[in-house]
Structure 1
Amino acid sequence: MSQLFSLEGKRVLITGSARGIGFLLARGLAEAGAEVIVNATTPAGAEQAAAKLRDLGLRAQSKAFDVTQSAQVQQAVDEIEAEWGAIDVLVNNAGIQRRRPFLEFPEQDWNDVIAVNQTAVFLVSQTVAKKMVGRQQGKIINIGSMQSELGRDTITPYAASKGAVTMLTRGMCVELARHNIQVNAIAPGYFVTEMTQALADDPAFTGWLTKRTPAARWGKPEELIGAAVFLSSKASDFVNGHLLFVDGGMRVAV
């Protein structure tokens, strides 16, 4: 049974993994046996995070590139596979948030959110998937959100970008499953991270959240690791096009 969930011998590229949830996923997947490639926009940021993992006795490399720039993505993926070997699993984790009322939302902020949360998923997935098709195997995990299916005040562009991630996941599944590539997404609910810390510190919001969520609490970022290990492992070989909510039951409650 343990072999179903083992990532021994697997190589995983995780975008936006120098900190936050991305870093926790990198640590969790490395602890499951994978060699992880940590990504950030700067070499120093990526390498510092990878060094922290190596200090824990885990296998980690670093590769800096901007996920919104196709030329950088192509060069980085080519270099990773030339230096360290095939990318077996891609986790599209990089994401940003901007909060403003819809009627006041700046066009540039919209463009930034769409570029990182949506276009980058397309660019990195397409580049990596071309190599996976040649090997006739691979796994791609997109990080969606509760807002992949639900809206909320002041984050309409974010919700739009995460809704697009859902349909990218499904469309990629339809086209890539025939090549033995599994494409799935994880949709976190409300987790305490750098992106949500202001909300977690707001007693009114936290009060609303605990009443709204059947589990009656915020999620802990490490509680996303199990879903990532499952979708990266042999245990999910016939799971495809799925949006896995990790939300304490929030989506199904009224």
Structure 2
Amino acid sequence: MTKELENRILLLYAILNLGGNSNKKEVLDFIIENDLIALEDVDKELLVSRKEIRWRNELAYVRQHLVEIDALNRYEWSITPIGKMYYNSLVHDLTNIDTEYKLQRLKKPNIFVPISDFRVEVIEDIYKGVELSSTNIEAIVLCRRGQGIFRLNLLKLWKKCCVTGYSNGELLIASHIKPWRFSNNFERLDKFNGLLLTPTLDRLFDKGLITFDCNNGKILLSKELKDIELLGINSDMRINLFEENKKYLEYHNKHVFKDKIEMRL
């Protein structure tokens, strides 16, 4: 467990004890008033640029990381159902860390216990059966957004848009072939269930207006798609498939794609 994760469990614990919905001042005051955080002299320094003590600024920044994985709501200091699941996973990790590990932030590690009345079943089906590990839960959540390990693996696998060859990774989308909602947890993280696409191609692929033949990678266009030239699409486009892509594209061809038209040769 890293210092970052210790900060996360502190924030979630404070918010839970304040009723699940609070504000920045109340949460940080709760942590210091209950003597929950271990501070060094440097943590107590005033950041002139922020007009705030260093440790308070640090935890406020950590909150953004919790927002990114849907553990906290974006516009208020309130915990989500995923946040409760994530809190339980952090408690699990804390109780299973190596005895030689020296905690950096937590002064009272024994106070952190799972939320006993919280059940995973209250969350969407996609989170059921996920191993109770903060790392695994974070990977699943970020993967759902096309971020995290899934995106990094696609960048390594394809290196550029697998259709156009465009290589600026910051502008490319990590797109699932078999849609997230119909995939199991292995498929959601499998790099071969993904294409690296430009935003336009990603949108068309996601809507089933284009697909790629699961046998040869050639683009197929839906009869619902009009003015393809204006979209920068042409019937000669194709991807060089990996063998492992084919089963996912077969699903997309059959269940997502909206009727093909004859390709111009």
TM-score strictly above 0.5: no
The structure whose residues are more often helix, as a share, is 1
Give the TM-score band, short-chain normalised: under 0.3
Q: What TM-score, normalized by structure 1, do the two folds share? A: 0.23
Question: Which structure has the larger Rg?
Answer: 2
The structure whose residues are more often strand, as a share, is 1
